[in-house]
């Protein structure tokens, strides 16, 4: 099934009435000005993409360490603790910029199935965090003491890699759907 087929069928899904809402969001004064700005929109887009690269790198480093594939000279605690504040800043900035970008072009994104897939994946990433933060990421000292990385930590890392990679791919595919 090609992208054109997905696009045609997506518009026929009953209950999808996103366009009036998208138009209302996009028509908010500052969002209209923002999306038409010669400087503001490209700057925010650049910040969003830079945060994706930096945040994605930190996620990758943490997950690969949990899988004992790299950074073996560092304990899991050192890796997680040192990157946690930067992940919070990067993730918050990335999401804030992404919301601003999406809201300013809401009519473009509302019918885009790749955008909605990305949003679903972002929700699944939130569920991943709710499940694995208390049992893996907040118990790094236990992981450091363990002679073998526990299965739950490996599952958390692999799922994280799959979810984040999927989200980044969907983010790129958004631009190719028209």
Burial label for 81, CB within 10 Å (0-12, 13-18, 19+), is exposed
The dihedral sign for the CA sequence 91, 92, 98, 102: positive
| Distance from chain centroid for Cα 12 | 28
Residue 176 backbone dihedrals phi, psi, to 5 degrees? -95, 5
Residue 57 CA to residue 119 CA, distance in Å, equals 20
* Low-confidence stretches of the chain (pLDDT beneath 70): 1-28
Tokens of 130: 């709710």
The domain segmentation of the chain, as residue ranges, is: 19-174
- Please state the three-class secondary structure of 70-108 as a single string: CCCCCCHHHHHHHHHHHHHHHHHHHHHHHHHHHHHCHHH
The pLDDT score that the predictor gives to residue 61 is: 93
Helix/strand number for the chain, H first, E second: 9, 0
The pLDDT score that the predictor gives to residue 14 is: 45
Q: How many CA atoms lie within 13 A of 104 on its CB side?
A: 19
The pLDDT score that the predictor gives to residue 118 is: 93
Percent of the chain that is helix, strand, coil (3-state, to 5): 80, 0, 20
Give the burial string for 102-138 (b: 16+ CB within 10 Å, else e): bbbbbbbbbbbbbbbbbeebbeebeebeeebeeebbe
139-177 pLDDT, tens per residue? 989 999 999 989 999 999 999 999 999 999 999 998 888
């Amino acid at each position: 099934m090609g992208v054109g087929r997905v696009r045609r069928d997506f518009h026929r899904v009953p209950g999808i009435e996103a366009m009036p809402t998208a138009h209302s969001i996009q028509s908010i004064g500052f969002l209209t000005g923002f999306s038409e700005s010669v400087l503001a929109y490209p700057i925010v887009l650049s910040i969003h993409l830079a945060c994706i690269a930096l945040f994605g790198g930190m996620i990758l480093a943490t997950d690969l360490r949990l899988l004992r594939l790299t950074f073996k000279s560092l304990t899991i605690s050192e890796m997680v603790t040192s990157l946690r504040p930067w992940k919070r800043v990067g993730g918050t900035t990335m999401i804030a910029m992404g919301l601003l970008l999406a809201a300013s072009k809401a009519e473009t994104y509302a019918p885009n199935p790749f955008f909605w897939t990305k949003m679903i994946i972002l929700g699944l990433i939130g569920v991943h965090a709710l499940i694995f933060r208390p049992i893996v990421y907040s118990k790094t000292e236990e992981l450091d003491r363990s002679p073998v990385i526990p299965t739950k930590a490996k599952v958390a890392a692999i799922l994280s890699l799959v979810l984040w990679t999927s989200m980044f791919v969907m983010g790129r595919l958004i631009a190719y759907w028209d």
